[in-house]
Chain A
Amino acid sequence: MKARTLRAWSWVHKWSSLVSTAFLLMLCVTGLPLVFTHEIEHVLMEEAWTPARPDGPKLTLDQVLETALARKPGEVPAFMSFDEDRPVVNVTSVQPGGKAGVYSFQPIDHTSGDPAPPVAGHPVMEFLLQLHTDMFLGLAGMLFLGAMGLLLIAALVSGVVLYAPFMRRLPFGTVRASKRARTRWLDYHNLLGAVTAAWVLVVGATGVVNTLATPIVGYWKNTALKELTQAYDSPVAPGQRSSLQAAVDKAKAALPDKDLQFVAFPGSDYSTDHHYAVFFHGKTPLTKHLTTPALIDARTGELAAIAPTPWYVKTLSLSQPLHFGDYGGLGLKIVWALLDIATIVILASGLYLWLAKRKAAR
């Protein structure tokens, strides 16, 4: 490689890293416990619980919704989701026109309407997740972290290019542990960078895609779902809505080979102002991560459309497991955590190498 080309790549590696390192360290440190969110919340929150009427009939979803909203006067429903391993319906509601990110989350016994103990959403994990997602800055914070992710990719690509000249005389994996600290840490940095490259690229790139969730879903609503909403001028008022249970039943009949995942109410982020969006996911390991909504007209209760998600929403859906590492059992999570720690060492050693070089140059 020509000396000028090498200097250019060196410049890219130095600056893409320097600008992003503090944020990437924050992401790696908060990401480490987040990998084990499910396990941590299981330990911190799980308590023995049985439904009030284990073998009795279940309430209709309309009854569940009514019960939940009666406990949160003035709020409107946003989402309803369903626990997989217990008869519990989770109702998320918000103040109309309230602040983004402020909501009530109520797990409800599907057999009695009584409150059920929450098994997710521990305040500490929620805090870490929010810090990791947007640093409490909303969309701007998310997009900013997305930009840091792009810098990570630039640092990774330039790092791979620079790996060649550094390793021309050293067989793979050489660690000159007896040499001075700068040499030693350069070897650790190169070794860990070389072995984690593919994983960092996947987690970095899918992380960037995840930061685009709001514009991706917004674009989908404004294009694919737009024509479904053109018949109406004003959002459907809560008093005008048809039965939720009937809407879910109709959606299930339309998608019999899929599993019910959640309902987005009219006016919420994942629906239009006029429809119940009933989301289903597939039954295979891959299609489990891909959702298909059935849109039910909230005034008439009729099936308005099955809206298979376009490629960019599918990309977003698949970017989530590939970023979180929560799709392949505990073994995969442990490897995820080890690679996350390796990345922390890469970031810290990179910073150290830059500082040591500056000091030496003075």
Chain B
Amino acid sequence: MKTGHHLTLWQVFSVPAAIAALSLFGLVVALLGDGLWNGIGALTLGASVIATVWALAARRR
């Protein structure tokens, strides 16, 4: 535990909320579009996977 002070609710949820928004965006655009939109959909839904890999590498202690 790095700090003694508490994170605010916003600090706790800002990254998960951004990932959730990207995921929902990806789920919807892949449904509404074809071709390039499918790639964009997979990539934005994949933000969750990218964030996991990043956390496992960079926030490991």
Query: Which residues of chain A have a CB within 8 Å of any CB of chain B?
Result: 163-164, 167-178, 191-192, 194-199, 202, 285-286, 289, 318, 321-322, 327-329, 331-332, 334-335, 338-339, 342
Contacts and interface: CB of A to CB of B under 8 A. Distances in A.
B41 A286 contact: no
B42 A195 contact: no
B45 A285 contact: no
Given A328-B41, A331-B38, A198 B23 contact: yes
A176 B61 contact: yes
A285 B34 contact: yes
A174 B61 contact: yes
B20 to A, nearest CB: 4
A192 B53 CA distance: 10
Contacts of A329: 30, 38-39, 42
A335 B49 contact: yes
6 contacts: A167-B12, A169-B4, A171-B7, A175-B60, A195-B19, A329-B39
Contacts of A339: 45, 48-49
Interface of B: 1-4, 6-7, 9, 11-16, 19-21, 23-24, 26-27, 30-34, 37-39, 41-43, 45-46, 48-49, 51-52, 54-56, 58-61
B42 A335 contact: yes
Q: Is the interface of A mostly helix, strand, loop or mixed?
A: helix
Given A174-B59, A194-B19, A199-B48, A321 B7 contact: no
B24 A175 contact: no
Given A164-B13, A176-B61, A195-B52, A170 B1 contact: yes
Contacts of A172: 12, 14-16, 55, 59
Contacts of A168: 6-7, 12
Contact of B31 (A167, A191, A199, A328): A328
A177 B27 CA distance: 32
B46 to A, nearest CB: 5
Given A172-B15, A196-B48, A331-B43, 9 more contacts: A172-B55, A173-B59, A195-B16, A195-B19, A195-B48, A202-B27, A286-B32, A322-B27, A332-B41
B2 A171 contact: yes
Contact of A286 (B2, B31, B38, B45): B31
